[in-house]
A and B are shown apart, each in its own frame.
Chain A
Amino acid sequence: MDTTRRGFLGAIGQVTIGAAASVAGAGQSASAEGNDVPHWGMVVDLRKCIGCQACTVACIMENAVPEDAFRTHVSVYELVKDGQDPAMVMLPRLCNHCDDPPCLPVCPVEATFKAENGEVLVDASKCVGCAYCVQACPYDARFINHETQVADKCTFCFHRTQAGLLPACVETCVGGARNFGDLNDPNSEVSKMLRDNEVSVLRPEMHTNPNVYYIGLDDVLDGRVAGEAAYHPEMADTVSHTEGL
């Protein structure tokens, strides 16, 4: 039931590649417990993320993400608390595949939908490219793909999980920070991680019921991060942003 690349490699001597389906928990776990269909979720253990961006690159390669956009990436912050030594903190970001996704009701043509396993997907053949969903997403997880001219986002690598494989970002994660599996299955690794650890979600005040959880997330990073930005456009390069009045 390992859901990380490291666990997968450990098990590779015992199982065939075809058995990767059971590694991902696809198709078997839920039915084994007599639950409904699998409900995919991700648990990101920030203590293990080293900010290598291998997930970012794997996602781009797997999903042909255009140069000017990301379906997932790792934000990197330097935190200085009470004048102590600075700490480097990584924060992988992706679509949270919310159970109450704000991007869904705003779509004027019902191109955005919630799939059976909980993924929030876009029917590219239906999308008119109005970008209303891009505005509604509280996580900045959507974008207009300038090659396809439709809304684009993380799919939890739907094409891979359908084939019993892990999402590319999980498959490639060096430190084992990204864990993926069936939240309906109490025996899945992600369910155990949720039980055994204190977890947080991004932007809890939005009440979107996200399916991406974080272990070790600092409170100052769970919303809009108030601090010195990495990017300084011409019109806003004077000061760091301090949240509040």
Chain B
Amino acid sequence: METQVHELVGAVHDAAWQPWAVQYFFLIAISVTALLMALPAFVFGKSTDLRTARLALMVAVTTGITAPIALLADLHQPFRFWEFFVYTHKSSWMAWGAWIVPSYVALMLLFAWAIHRPEFHRMGQDDWRFAWLFRLFSLGGASNGFARPLGMLAGLAALGILVYTGSEVMVVRARPLWNTPFLPLQFAATGGVGALGVMLILERMLCRESALEATLNRRLALALALVAALGMGWFAVAISGVSPVHSEALASVAGFPVWQQIALWGAASVAIPFVLALVLPRNTGLITGLIAIHAAWMFRWTVFMGGQAVPKVGSGLYDALMPTGVAGLMGVLGTFGLWVFLMIVYTTFLPWADASPPARTSDQAPRKSASPQEI
């Protein structure tokens, strides 16, 4: 029996997770995947990766500081954040996240500090205006053998972030678009795409080394291939009916032209930088990087804001583009503004270009290297 339904009176529900949440998930995924890219050189001594690792560490630190601030902004009662640590509810992934996020940020910052400590010490010995500050930063020593265990712990915390952020969203059965086992993997893979995108932009602005650009572009192509494979896998299991939750996710949005346009846009955002990075790995870093950042951000925007635009019981769609209006836009821009500020501070004051793997022996003699002004 065919039934036509016209909704005459219904309620529209605002998006409860606002653009700040998108920013958090975007930035934290970039931070943890960037940190994992920094570990081969700084922890495991793979010297060929050192230049990549320096950029990766810079990205991990700056986005890793910005992300929790965006998360706090998304709380409607931000000054009650301490309750997360007093009333931990073990069945909630968010409660676990409340412990994992500060652990990750603290370990990641300690690791970055340990990597830079010899340079801090050296800059504290030089005769210049801020020497006293760097003597403070170095805590009076140059040894950093402990950077390796710190890096490993930070890496574990980064994996914890990937697990908790993915699971936190995946367990929400009420939102079919979120309730798919592919989602945590997609978050991780698109996080890697975003991190490589930011690293490519920074490489073009700070280094301009053709070989490094090509290396990053090749890795970006690999990450994009992974994202595409996951996307096709998602679609295949959804359309074949092998996985009912994926089929339900697809069915919840498939009838809407706006979602078909989003899908095409997303596919283009993956395909275009993939082809460019593969065919022209040199001199395309700016464009592939920007599109990669866009792809990673758009994926989260689509999942979070688009997902909340799908009514759970009503008909049609709620506002899908910018549900929180100018305030939401300002939230997005403000978060990026904070990240840009941190980038300026990082590249101006920290000897990032001299960051090296820790020496095997403690308290080694400080090395001669460039000051930040010379970078």
Contacts and interface: CB of A to CB of B under 8 A. Distances in A.
Nearest to B81: A128
Interface in B227-247: 239, 247
A135 B312 CA distance: 10
Contact of B174 (A51, A136, A233): A136
A236 B256 contact: yes
Question: B interface, how many residues as a size bin?
Answer: 35 or more
B12 to A, nearest CB: 5
B3 A80 contact: yes
* Chain A interface main SS type: loop
Interface string A115-135: 000000000001111111011
Given A107-B92, A229-B314, 10 more contacts: A51-B9, A68-B14, A73-B11, A75-B314, A80-B3, A136-B173, A223-B313, A229-B316, A238-B258, A241-B256
B4 A80 contact: yes
Contacts of B168: 132
A106 B76 contact: no
B153 interface: no
Interface in A57-103: 68, 70, 73-82, 88, 93, 102
Nearest 3 A-B pairs (CB), nearest first? A229-B316, A129-B76, A227-B5
Interface stretch (A18-26, A142-150, A180-188): A142-150
A214 to B, nearest CB: 13
Interface of A: 51, 53, 68, 70, 73-82, 88, 93, 102, 105-111, 126-132, 134-140, 143-144, 149-150, 202-203, 206, 218, 220-221, 223-236, 238-245
Given A144-B76, A245-B239, A105 B91 contact: yes
Contacts of B174: 102, 135-138, 206
Q: Which of A53, A110, A111, A150 has the most CB of B within 10 A?
A: A110
Nearest to B252: A224
A231 B12 contact: yes
17 contacts: A68-B14, A77-B6, A78-B8, A107-B92, A108-B94, A108-B97, A128-B75, A130-B75, A136-B172, A136-B174, A139-B312, A144-B14, A218-B3, A224-B311, A227-B315, A236-B258, A240-B315
Nearest to B320: A235
Contacts of B173: 102, 136, 138, 206
A236 B312 CA distance: 16
Nearest to A139: B313
Nearest to B316: A229
B7 A75 contact: yes
Contacts of B314: 75, 140, 224-225, 229, 231
Contacts of B74: 130
Contacts of A53: 9
Given A220-B3, A227-B5, A239 B94 contact: no
A176 B319 CA distance: 35
B260 to A, nearest CB: 11
Interface in B2-44: 2-14, 16-17
Contacts of B80: 127-129
A228 B239 contact: no
A225 B13 contact: no
A115 to B, nearest CB: 17
